[in-house]
Chains A and B, each alone.
Chain A
Amino acid sequence: DIQMTQSPSSLSASVGDSVTITCRASQGISNSLAWYQQKPGKAPNLLLYAASRLESGVPSRFSGSGSGTYYTLTISSLQPEDFATYYCQQYYSTPHTFGAGTKVEIK
């Protein structure tokens, strides 16, 4: 199984800040990576797929990059509605493993 190591587990930031979350796969996943946002009591919401492609309707302040085993999610100019938990997930092969999550909190 492919292990996904996500960091940091939490971070504090202010509105307007730029933050970056990283996800490292235990083997190459050929950009088969999705990022999700989850707010308390809600289902996960797809933000990006194929490492860098923005899902329809997602604000352009969200961006993704990476290749091979190393991927990042960047949120530029944090907005109040962005405070949530973020997960990466590889879909290169089953089981489609998730990272442990990054909780983005208000400083």
Chain B
Amino acid sequence: EVQLLDSGGGLVQPGGSLRLSCAASGFTFTNYAMSWVRQAPGKGLEWVSGISGSGGSTYYADSVKGRFTISRDNSENTLFLQMNSLTAEDTALYYCGKGSYYEINAWFGPWGQGTLVTVSS
């Protein structure tokens, strides 16, 4: 059974940094692209970032480009999202998701349970 466990969220001040993790199990991690999506309180889903199975290709939404970095450790079956220069607009529940193929342009599912990031002073 595929399992994705998101962690690392918390309260951070504007301008601060946070590193999210997603521990994956139940599938051959290196064979699949992974993504992060987020959901601000009471709002819809927003795609944030994606990474190919090898980690060699990464992709970002314009809203986070230059501030967020996606990476993966295929030896530890873990996906990361390093978030810098955080603003209140980054406050959201962040979900990691498993791709259906090695490359990024395919459907995603399942998704982790989410980890909450709150940016506030």
Decide whether A and B assemble into one complex: yes
Q: Is the CB of A91 within 8 A of B109?
A: no
Are B95 and A44 closer than 8 Å at their CB atoms?
yes
Interface check B50, CB cutoff 8 A = yes
Q: How far is the CB of B36 from chain A (nearest CB, A)?
A: 11
Which stretch in B11-19, B82-90, B110-118 binds the other chain? B110-118
Query: How many A-B residue contacts, CB cutoff 8 Å?
Result: 68
Q: How many residues of B contact A (CB 8 A)?
A: 24
The docked-state distance in angstroms from the alpha carbon of A11 to that of B110 is: 26
A45 within 8 A of B: yes
> Which B65-115 residues have C-beta < 8 A from chain A?
95, 100, 104-114
Interface residues, chain B, with chain A CB atoms under 8 Å away:
35, 37, 44-47, 50, 59-62, 95, 100, 104-114
What is the CB-to-nearest-CB distance from A70 to chain B, in angstroms, rounded to a whole number? 19
Number of residues from A at the complex interface, CB < 8 A = 25
A-B contacts besides A96-B47, A98-B45, 4 pairs, CB < 8 Å = A43-B113, A89-B47, A91-B105, A96-B104
- Specify the chain B residue showing the minimal Cβ separation from A100: B44
Which of A34, A38, A87, A93 is in CB contact (< 8 Å) with B107? A34
A46–B35 alpha-carbon span in the complex (Å): 14
Identify 14 residue pairs between A and B in the complex whose beta-carbon atoms are under 8 Å apart, listed by A's number. A34-B109, A36-B45, A43-B113, A43-B114, A45-B111, A46-B108, A87-B44, A91-B107, A94-B47, A95-B61, A96-B35, A96-B47, A96-B105, A98-B44
Q: A-side interface residues toward B, CB under 8 Å?
A: 1, 32, 34, 36, 38, 43-46, 49-50, 55, 87, 89, 91-101
- Minimum CB–CB distance from A104 to chain B (whole Å) comes to 14
> Within 8 Å CB of A101, what residues of B?
44-45
Q: How far is B106's CA from A58's CA once the two chains are assembled, in angstroms?
A: 19
Tell me the complex Cα distance, A1–B63, Å.
12
> By the criterion CB–CB under 8 Å, are B62 and A1 in contact?
yes
Known: A1-B62, A96-B35. A49 touches B107 (CB 8 A): yes
